Amino acid sequence: MTEQLDRAFFARPVLEVAPALLGMVVEHGGVAIRLTEVEAYAGSEDPGSHAFRGPTPRNQVMFGPAGHLYCYFSYGMHWATNVVTGHEGSACAVLLRGGEVVRGVEVARERRERGRRRPVTARDLARGPGNLARALELGQEQYGADVCAVDAAIRFVRPQSHKIPGGRRRQGPRVGVSGDGGSAEAFPWRFWLEDEPSVSAYRPATRRLSR
DNA sequence: CGTGCGATTATCT
DNA sequence: GATAATCGCACGC
């Protein structure tokens, strides 16, 4: 048996929940992914957060109770998934950045290879937020979903195996967050498991020159 | 191997 | 109208 993570797990400070999620498993649509990389976003106190400038139609779910999904469309082509944490109104959330597919590899591979010419290696199946969301088939329809419900389609579980984390927990600057003002070091809120192939490569925020 | 660039559109100013 | 919590591929070493 595996234990579904309850609301109390998510209703803690985001900097506590984020590292605690490493090694936990997310399940949806026949695919299960063991998380190896996440990032914390601290709502109105965090210039890198989508909630920094207050509620909007897009980010409103983050201002609600913990344990719901904040899905957003990124760069005009990818979906990314967060789970809301902390107390209601704090607008804190954890971005799911990478993981290892532990069940449903064939389904995940099929989803990931759709519209591609090159095959996808096992390590790349859920490497990066866009890829993880694609492998789990998470998007607009899952916006606001309650992952703590008894009959939740998307659930977080603690694997029965005692070697939950696997590698050692590591912490460092977030990836590609322009709100950090070029100093991602100010918010070292990316958490990952050492020596896990599914952890995405670090890339600084890309500057986009206007033409 | 590492680096650079174009794709593509919802969202907010 | 500009931007963006990205990705995959091309290209050069």
Cβ–Cβ under 8 Å, residues A90 and A62 = no
* Distance (Å, whole) CA A75 – CA A102: 28
* Distance (Å, whole) CA A10 – CA A75: 28
* Distance (Å, whole) CA A191 – CA A15: 10
Question: What is the token pair recorded at A166?
Answer: 């696997």
* Distance (Å, whole) CA A122 – CA A126: 8
* CA torsion angle A4 A104 A81 A125 (round to 10): 140
Kindly determine whether the C-beta of residue A43 is less than 7 Å away from any atom of nucleic acid strand C.
no
CA A58 to C1' B11, in angstroms, rounded, equals 8
Predicted TM-score (pTM) of the model is 0.94
Q: What is the pLDDT of residue A185?
A: 75
As ranges, strand C nucleotides with an atom below 7 A of a protein CB are: 2-9
Give the residue with minimal CA–C1' separation from B12. Answer: A56
Burial of A52 (0-12, 13-18, 19+ CB in 10 A): middle
The alpha carbon dihedral of A132, A136, A140, A146 has a sign of: negative
DSSP A117: S
Q: What is the pLDDT of residue A210?
A: 47
As ranges, strand B nucleotides with an atom below 7 A of a protein CB are: 6-13
Q: Residues in chain A with pLDDT < 70?
A: 1, 162-166, 180-183, 204-211
Model confidence pLDDT, tens digit, residues A100-141: 999 999 999 999 999 888 899 999 999 999 999 999 999 999
Kindly determine whether the C-beta of residue A169 is less than 7 Å away from any atom of nucleic acid strand C.
no
The residues facing A190 across adjacent strands are A39, A172
Nearest nucleotide to A50 by CA–C1' distance?
C5
Question: What is the token pair recorded at A200?
Answer: 């995405």
Q: What is the pLDDT of residue A178?
A: 77
Cβ–Cβ under 8 Å, residues A18 and A39 = yes
CA A207 to C1' C2, in angstroms, rounded, equals 13
Nearest nucleotide to A59 by CA–C1' distance?
B11
Q: What is the pLDDT of residue A157?
A: 97
Kindly determine whether the C-beta of residue A211 is less than 7 Å away from any atom of nucleic acid strand C.
no
Kindly determine whether the C-beta of residue A34 is less than 7 Å away from any atom of nucleic acid strand C.
no
CA distances from A81 to A124, A171, A182 (A): 17, 20, 23
Please choose, from the candidates A78, A97, A76, the residue with its C-alpha nearest in 3D space to the C-alpha of residue A203.
A97
Residues with CB under 7 A from strand B: A 53, 56-59, 72-73, 75-77, 206
CA A206 to C1' B4, in angstroms, rounded, equals 11
